[in-house]
Amino acid sequence: MRLGNFTGQNPDFLPEVWLVDLAASWRLSVTGAASTLISWNTRAGAWTYDAIRGHVESLSELAGSIDVGPVLCLENDSPDTDTLGFEDTAAPIPGRSFFYLARSFDGATSSDYGTSTSGKPEVPASGDCP
C-alpha cells in the first residue's frame, strides 16, 4: 500500500478505501436534439472509454457474435464518461436510425461493446476506435 493524495481528496495521507461494485450494470444514455451527447456511468477498473455510432439497419446476427456493421468512432481513449465536446452532429436519413455503444479500457485490455440479449458480443465490422 502506498500513502498519498492520489485523488486530490485525501490531504491527511491516511489510507483510502475504495468500494467498487463489480456487478453493477453499465448504462448508456443518449440525449440531445441538434447534436447527440452520449454518457455512461463509470465502469470498475476503467481508465479510458471509446464511443461509436452505427446504423441499425447494419445489425446482423452471426453464429458467435452480432455484427454491428461499419461504425464511426466518436471518441477514442477518453477518460471522460461522456462525449461532451465530441457530440454527434449527424442525423440519420428519414426512416433510418443510429445506435451508440461504448467500451472501457482497464490499462491492459478493452472490454467488448456489450452483448445482445442472446448473449453474443457486439462486434464492429470496420471503423472501430483503434
- Considering the entire predicted model, what is its pTM? 0.80
Confidence at 5, pLDDT banded by 50, 70, 90 = low
Q: Which residues contact 100 (CB under 8 A, 6 or more apart)?
A: 28, 30, 36, 38, 51, 52, 53, 54, 74, 88
Quote the pLDDT of residue 73. Answer: 97
Give the DSSP H/E element, type plus range, for residue 104: strand 98-105
Angle of CA points 74, 78, 81, to nearest 5°: 90
Give residue-wise pLDDT tens across range 11-33. 666 666 666 676 777 889 999 88
The answer, yes or no, to whether residue 1 has pLDDT greater than 50, is no
Q: Where are the beta strands (DSSP E) in 27-97?
A: 28-31, 37-40, 48-55, 60-61, 66-67, 71-78
Give residue-wise pLDDT tens across range 68-119. 999 999 999 999 999 999 999 999 999 999 999 999 998 888 888 988 888 8
Quote the pLDDT of residue 109. Answer: 87
**For the chain, which domains are there?**
28-123 (2.60.40)
Q: Which residue has the higher pLDDT, 68 or 7?
A: 68
Give residue-wise pLDDT tens across range 36-48. 999 998 888 889 9
Q: Which residues contact 83 (CB under 8 A, 6 or more apart)?
A: 37, 38, 39, 51, 74, 75
